[in-house]
Chains A and B, each alone.
Chain A
Amino acid sequence: MKKLHFLEVEGNTKGFFTFLGLFGLISLIGILSAYYMEHNGHWVTGMNNQIIWGTPHVFAIFLIVAASGALNIASISSVFSKTAYKPLSRLSGIMAISLLSGGLVVLLLDLGRPDRLIVAMTQFNLVSIFTWNILLYTGFMGIVGVYLWTMMDRPYNKLTKKAGMAAFIWRLILTTGTGSIFGFLVAREAYDSALLAPMFIIMSFSFGLAFFLLFLMGSYKYTQRELGDYIVSRLKNLLGVFVAAVLYFVLVYHLTNLYSADHRDITVFILTGGGIYTFLFWVVQIALGSLVPLFLLYGPTGKNRAMIALAAALIILGGMAQLYVIIIGGQAFPMSLFPGMEVSSSFYDGVIASYAPSLPEILLGLGGVGVTLLLMTVAIAALKFMPASLADEVADPHSK
């Protein structure tokens, strides 16, 4: 096994500036979209008093959930002592921070009053799970920052395991917190489930690793660094396990909801009569986002890099669809003001709420992805996050 050597990406190249410009532009368009929405008010969006959280939340929650999942690679190395993942630990840590930053930017810019961020940072209602999330996100940044420092500063290497353990525990609490934002809403049939918190954790494993794998393959390709089959094969096998685990949770979640009478209506709505939500669930989340990737990862195409990348991209697409169905589908289904009765009003009681994402919402969401990729691009050029080579003789601990 050859010695592992970390190296910054060369910054003074055309390729680097191209990516920097591209991701910067996407971020800028996102920020301008947010400005447009804030300047006019949310009437320019598809959101309304029924669909309260729209497409920006789908992107934001995806990125936040993926952030904690992206840290898994480092955790597997530090906490579970799997040396095969050690070369990827630094990249995993910085990606976690970048994804979280991207998600938080979207979340913040979709507020009705983003100018009051200082209020959110100083006035805490500790009963609110939202407040806890603010503290958890801030803490996550700090802890992962320290964790990265112990990895990258040799004299502090001995602290890596402890920092890694702290970060691992923190990320589990963080994703529990994110899932609980929905799980604590007793009044809404779609969300009233303790299963949401663990389901969000397993979703984070899957989304985070898919994003990580895609970035890893892309960055090594464009920087012409060697990425051996050993690493790719391990990661894609792990990804497949996570995808299957998410499927399992989705199955249990819907089965338990079908079993209890007061949750049956919303489940039947999502699974059979929900129009776009039913389509997104079966076609995008289940078929394209889960079954096809499983086939691509474990089938005869399992060694084909393009097919692995396609699988990762499809998992991200499926994850977005899953969150869209949970967040927007869950709101579209009317709340039960008088259980068992037919209700109607001028305020859209008793009817399926309509929602069509507006362009600024989508651009703001994509802007969050842009911010994430921009931060990653700058980070890998500024500091030694990426091994110079991940060829099998470097990465495979059993290689001679």
Chain B
Amino acid sequence: MTINIENEKKGAMTTTNVESSRRNFIFGSVAAAGLTVAPGMMLYQTANARSQSEKATSKVRWGMLVDTTKDVDWNKCVDACNNEHGLGNEHKSRDDQKTQYIRVVDVKNKGTGYSISLPVMCQHCEKPPCVDVCPTGASMKRPDGIVLVDRHRCIGCRYCMMACPYKARSFVHEVLSDQKENTPRGKGCVESCNMCVNRIDNGQEPACVEASDGAIIFGDLNNPESPISKILAKHGGKQIRADLKLNPGVHYQGI
């Protein structure tokens, strides 16, 4: 079954195969995403959307570009993330035990006094140390570059947290209730930003991107024609701790 979704803002034609039972849901969510897109915001490259029966492919590599020079309240991204994944429902954990998928980091140059703020989440490395060290393979990278944890396989050894140079992972310290359907979370497992894999697979952008007022661009780094690739090619971008040669999928401007 094939449906065509017309993206009015970009004028791009998209073809997506969906199972008929999911048709209405997919259509509804894509339409909703289209309606909520703010002017000037880069829309998700729906040309790369795939049906749920199709496996993720290495033809695409999802990435993000964060423009730290824009005057944006990054806490809106944090709130959107918490809301999307149902975070903040720990009642017993201390603050230093609570999960954060994305955080706002303030960086200051001691010499010059120059300072910036930027959102830091899982950097979705091409060569993720968390995946290398995981004894069971629970910490994994999808072919499309998204790094995430298989919560059925995680034994809670926390070695990935030791290995991650970005401190991007959290450990669930207590029994959780009131969970979001798309983000099952369990006591004793490690978790982190999964680039809103549930939204991406439904043809939407990650929640933080949507909340960023255009300051975070999401797209396919493998496609030279995608807006993210074009901007990176023209204006460049930096990766945090690029010296570690992990080639993160999250790029920054202005750092």
CB closest chain-A residue, reference B154 = A113
- Is B132 an interface position by the 8 A CB rule? yes
Q: Are B137 and A41 in contact (CB under 8 A)?
A: no
- Is B71 an interface position by the 8 A CB rule? no
Q: A49-B97, A128-B134 are in contact. Are A41 and B173 (CB under 8 A)?
A: yes
Q: Which of B96, B138, B162 is the most central at the interface, judged by chain A CB atoms within 10 Å of its CB?
A: B162
Find chain B residues with CB under 8 A from A344 CB: 105-106
How far apart are the CA atoms of A348 and B94 in the complex, in Å?
Answer: 13
Q: Are B155 and A113 in contact (CB under 8 A)?
A: yes
From B120, B131, B137, B164, contact of A345 by CB (8 A): B120
Find chain A residues with CB under 8 A from B153 CB: 116, 119, 123
Q: Bin the interface of chain A by size.
A: 35 or more
Find chain A residues with CB under 8 A from B166 CB: 337
Find chain A residues with CB under 8 A from B93 CB: 41, 43
Q: Are A347 and B173 in contact (CB under 8 A)?
A: no
Find chain A residues with CB under 8 A from B137 CB: 123-125
Q: Are A347 and B103 in contact (CB under 8 A)?
A: yes
Q: Are A112 and B171 in contact (CB under 8 A)?
A: yes
> Chain B nearest CB: distance from A115 CB in Å?
9
> Chain B nearest CB: distance from A16 CB in Å?
37
Q: A184-B133, A337-B166 are in contact. Are A343 and B97 (CB under 8 A)?
A: no
- Is B240 an interface position by the 8 A CB rule? yes
* Interface-facing stretch out of B52-60, B182-190, B207-215, B218-226: B182-190
How far apart are the CA atoms of A234 and B103 in the complex, in Å?
Answer: 58
Q: A41-B92, A48-B94, A345-B105 are in contact. Are A112 and B120 (CB under 8 A)?
A: no
From A128, A340, A341, contact of B133 by CB (8 A): A128
Find chain B residues with CB under 8 A from A111 CB: 155-157, 188
- Is A396 an interface position by the 8 A CB rule? no
Q: Are A43 and B136 in contact (CB under 8 A)?
A: no
Q: Are B92 and A123 in contact (CB under 8 A)?
A: no
Chain B residues with a Cβ closer than 8 Å to the other chain, count: 56
Interface residues of B in 93-148 (CB under 8 A from A): 93-94, 96-100, 103-110, 120, 129, 131-138
> Chain B nearest CB: distance from A302 CB in Å?
42
- Is A222 an interface position by the 8 A CB rule? no
Find chain B residues with CB under 8 A from A347 CB: 100, 103, 105, 167
- Is A338 an interface position by the 8 A CB rule? yes
Interface residues of B in 189-222 (CB under 8 A from A): 189-190
- Is B241 an interface position by the 8 A CB rule? yes
From B99, B107, B167, B189, contact of A113 by CB (8 A): B189
- Is A188 an interface position by the 8 A CB rule? yes
Find chain A residues with CB under 8 A from B157 CB: 111-112, 120, 130
From A53, A112, A125, A341, contact of B135 by CB (8 A): A125
Find chain B residues with CB under 8 A from A123 CB: 136-138, 153
From A48, A120, A128, A187, contact of B97 by CB (8 A): A48
Find chain B residues with CB under 8 A from A383 CB: none
Find chain A residues with CB under 8 A from B110 CB: 340-342
How far apart are the CA atoms of A335 and B135 in the complex, in Å?
Answer: 23
Can you give 7 A-B contacts (C-beta < 8 A)?
A: A41-B173, A43-B93, A49-B99, A123-B136, A339-B241, A343-B107, A347-B100
**Residues on B close to A: CB < 8 A?**
90, 92-94, 96-100, 103-110, 120, 129, 131-138, 153-159, 161-167, 169-175, 187-190, 240-241, 244, 255
A49-B170, A123-B136, A354-B96 provided; 12 other pairs, C-beta below 8 A? A41-B174, A49-B99, A49-B100, A114-B156, A125-B135, A131-B136, A187-B163, A337-B107, A337-B167, A342-B108, A346-B104, A347-B100
